[in-house]
Structure 1
Amino acid sequence: MKKTALVICPGRGTYNKPELGSISANLGASSPKIKEDLQSVLSQIDAERAQSGLATVSELDQAKLFKTSLHQKPEHAAALIYAAGYLDYLSIDRERYDIAAITGNSMGWYTAMACGGAWSVATSTRLVTSMALLTAGGAGAQFIYPVVDSEWRPDAQRIALVEEQLAAHQGQLMRSINYGGYAVLAGTEEACAAAMKALPVADERFPLLLPGHAAFHTRLMAAAAAQAQETWPVAAFQPPQTPLIDGRGQQWLSPETDRTALQRYTLGHQVTETFDFTKAVQVAVKEYAPDHIILLGPGSGLGGAVAQSLIAINWQGLRSKADFSERQTQADVPYVLSMGLAEQRALVTAGRN
């Protein structure tokens, strides 16, 4: 009997040294019945990149060494993350899983748009690169701070500390992403530096500045949003074939989707306002009650934030990290399946070699 699944796409910063070669490795391990289709899509992505004068995803992924100066360049990292996620989506065994809805974190919204059929392969390939360049060139900085305790339960004291800094730097420091048990804050470099200095050290590594990140999902991205809307017309957008849940928790359903509204949200609100990943996850499970949550690659960093989002609403009795860990191990197939983990990937993909 088929199981329903919510699919979640990772955001920027998830293609790192451990992920080098993962796209080609996953492709090589795919079953013959889907390998040809996956290779065809990757070839289309590579062709679009080559036509734009950029290194192809295959070239980047198959490089002998991981180079931060190369692989973490915005126009390269964005393409690698999108391509890995989209190919993972196409690898999901549809005889075992019905995809109920799709969402994503931050840049993962672009991958979600591609997976949901709102963009063609050509459009999504070019657009993710375009948006990476537009937003990375913006002003400001971004850092992350935990707002949960060691058991992933909301921590009132840490939440209050974050609110204090937002109030102290009003208009200069903003809530960028609600990311499960973490607050991602962004703003001017001066405000971020002052807030990071004022916040007490948490879990031995926070507050943590996110290298190479600008003030994403804040008003400092207004110029990028305006240019994006001029560059990418409504004609590039199509109603999604699978329900999408955006960074406000709003659903986009086909055929009711207003393409103009989708374009304005994706290239406007989503660029300049808070991306509430926590709410997106919570709305998705409440609306669709999926049997499983499938996390696309690359990497496997989404698991904690997803679990923390579920714990915050006591979803299906989850009240702590321990509860979540027990839930993951008590069944033959874990509730949350990360395609970045080999043992869980095998439970998601269509028949392996």
Structure 2
Amino acid sequence: MKDLGHGANVSQIAQMYNIDSKEIIDFSSNINPKVVSGLEKYILEGLEECKSYPDINYTNLKNNISNYIGVNSEFIIPGNGATEIIYLLMKSINKRLAILNPTFSEYGRSATLSGLNVVNLNLNSEQQFDIDIEEIKNNLDKFDSLFVCNPNNPNGKVKDLNELLNLMKQNNKLLIVDETFMEFVGEEEKYSLVKHIKTTENLFILKAVTKFFGLPGLRLGYGLTSNKGIIEKIYKYKEPWTINSFADTLSNYIFEDKDYISESKLFYINERKFMLQELRNIKNIQVYDTDTNFILIKLNDRRSNEIKVELLNKGKILVRDASNFIGLDESYIRVAIKSHEENKILIKHMKKLLGD
């Protein structure tokens, strides 16, 4: 398969550098290191369910998501990860899409494969990748839908999108928001636009179980919208049975694990503070603020690929070379926030390579 330039390519990297993949500490993928309590038991239950086809309508799954997110189940579209929903959505919207960059490359890739005309707009890197409302206003006649990631990947900063949503509503355009990292945010309720789903058809939100619940292999995500036209088009293209029995079964339990959710949020509030403080003690880098589970770093006088290779060779640490994000260059890397002990290992090696 073509290299799509994402993180989490541990097996490939292990082969390239002749390292045992089990020895690599993967800071390239942004996954919660905490494990849901009772996971093994739920998986065994899901194994029993594998003897039958999943419910083609995902009624139980949608009800579980509905109870968790507080949105009517008729507005929920489950998918095989948020990525499936992205690709289905690109087939279901009007032909002109604007994307705020730098951001996740699959937005642009899926749009291009679906024949959409893509307009790349820029976030302001000198102002913590702020959204330039004036630039969006100046380009309103060039797009029908606007795609924004919040908190944004790769810089991790959450933004208040209410002004942007109002602008889209006033001009009858669709705002697509990827909130797959929103659950890591300390003030999630303040920034999430889920509360607006019922009252506006000019909004589509992406969510995922992958990141916050630490289950990337489960491949469970979902879209939220009250736009009946988009819902109908998505189901026109959606393949049946794309979500397996394990995902359906685990949805009975993981969304109800309040201790896991609160402990994970508190862990990241504290660990973000620790990581930002320690990394900012390194003089030769610029560390961007973050509200989620990863940190964007600009190297002042080194190249991202050089640091990536040195960290692999000297510490068996894999970081994300962020040079292939639109709007970034070879001076950027991204690192996940992992367990406290693993984070200390990363900081130790970065100080050795880059100096205190």
Shared topology, TM-score over 0.5? no
Larger radius of gyration: 2
- Counting helix residues as a fraction of each chain, which structure ranks higher? 1
